[in-house]
Copies of this chain bind each other. A is one copy, B any other.
Amino acid sequence: MDKQKAIQDFKALDEKITHFQSISGLADWDQKVMAPKKGRAQFAKAIGTLRTEAFKISISDEMGRLIEELNSDSVELDEMAAAQVRERKEQYDRFKRIPAEDFKEFAILTAQANDAWEHAREHNDFDHYAPYLEKIVGFRRKFAELYGYEAHPYDAVLSEFEPGLMVAKLDPIFAKLRDTSVTLLERIKKSPNQTPSEIFNQKYPIDKQKEFNRYILPIIGFDMEAGRLDETVHPFAQTITIGDVRLTTRYLEENVRSALFGTIHEAGHGIYEQNIDPKYEGTVLAGGTSFGIHESQSRFLENMVGRSRAFWSYFYPRLVEYFPEQLANIGEEDFYRAVNTVEPSFIRIEADELTYNLHIMVRYEVEKALMAGELEVHELPAVWNRKMEEYLGIIPATDREGVLQDVHWSFGGIGYFPSYSLGNLYAAQILNTLKKEVPGYEAAIAEGNFAPVMGWLKEKIHKYGSLYRPNELIVKVTGEELNADYLAEYLEAKYSEIYKLS
């Protein structure tokens, strides 16, 4: 066996798939952000063709043969090559089980489902979206059977987003998170020291919001020469290459927080990708290592940084310059407390740090039931509303504010949502280590210097791309495996102080 030749051939295949994904990533972004209406249906077919081609290469006989050759005990690979083989092997083993025709049909379906979802959301018309969603659930259930699983069909799709994640592991973690959250929420509701959230009940002109969002991005570490910021119904971050990472946000005149924290959140994803070591460019390693770790970076930037005293110590005086009328007579401390208002609400991406996880519980439970065949798509709106009432005490008046709010299912991402709460758990654990290793980071932020915190994240997490598995990485960074206590402690400490809880 010619090992060097095998490595070379493997790397060429890896690069080809990566190139195709880079381009289909751009194509997706374009359809959501730029493309005119009338071309979308036809272009969805073209994207389907490209995805199918990448898919075929990733499960080709050549790929199988090379993985087998390079995965043998007798072959020693450097750390990078070994990680490339590991990632492609996982995909190969998973995708090999899906018939090419199903894959293509699924790719076309999800491209079209995005349009259907946008339409349904705009017109509050769940029935318009339901037939697409039914097909998507059908495919995901079929894929779960094809992937195989030990205990629960949901396990099979969960591990697409977080390798090794299972219902058996999540159920107790999420149950605990739910219980502590509900208890803390009750204490907050009863507190006589409520936050002055009414300062957000004003109009904040959209052009000024845009300017402010563009102003903060480079300061917090997002490189505008290696990315863009655009607008979409549902904010997202899309990597084209390490040097081209695109964010979107959504401006609402009556809700200045929406774009602001949405942008910071997506910037957390984007900075992670921009900071990956360029030596991984064009390989499967040129991306975040899991959805959970990715969300840890976006949620960290949005909440642990973006909703911190230090952050607003620097940015609040600047924000006042953009909105002098709206913020007249409002002090920095009041503003800090207001951005940390805890209040049950309908829209997940605008939820506070505490109730956010309860939104995830709703999704986790309905996805689990959909995958198990215990829930039908047409029952979703009713079940969604019932769970919202149970966990958050509120019922959405419309599906637009309820089951139709999120884009994820339209691209087939059943199994994605748990990553958000996992991201919150990781983020709190990472924060705990950061505080020990970079004690001056908050003082620097208060001076507008994000280099200590972002530099640390880059060195510890970002630059590695997908070199390490999420479970390896969290141990490497924090010295221990996922520990759900940190988030509970963080939330207890933060809100006890803000709401002056006893």
Interface positions of A (Cβ within 8 A of B): 15-16, 18-20, 22-24, 26-27, 30, 34-43, 45-47, 49-50, 53, 223-228, 240-245, 281-282
Contacts and interface: CB of A to CB of B under 8 A. Distances in A.
Contact of A242 (B39, B223, B243): B39
Contacts of A53: 53
B50 A23 contact: yes
A40 B49 CA distance: 24
B242 A36 contact: no
B43 A22 contact: yes
A244 B39 contact: yes
A50 B20 contact: yes
A36 B225 contact: yes
Contacts of A15: 49
Contacts of A49: 15-16, 19-20
B50 A19 contact: yes
Most buried by B among A45, A241, A242, A245: A241
B240 A35 contact: yes
A49 B50 CA distance: 12
B36 A243 contact: yes
Contact of A243 (B39, B281, B282): B39
Contact of A40 (B34, B36, B243, B281): B243
Contacts of A50: 19-20, 23, 50
A278 B249 CA distance: 34
Given A20-B50, A23-B27, A26-B26, A282 B36 contact: no
A39 B282 contact: no
A228 B41 CA distance: 17
A35 B282 contact: no
In the A-B complex, the 6 residue pairs with the smallest Cβ-Cβ separation, listed nearest first, are A39-B244, A38-B243, A39-B243, A19-B46, A19-B49, A38-B226
15 contacts: A19-B46, A22-B42, A23-B27, A26-B27, A35-B244, A36-B228, A36-B243, A36-B244, A38-B243, A39-B241, A39-B243, A42-B244, A43-B243, A46-B241, A53-B53
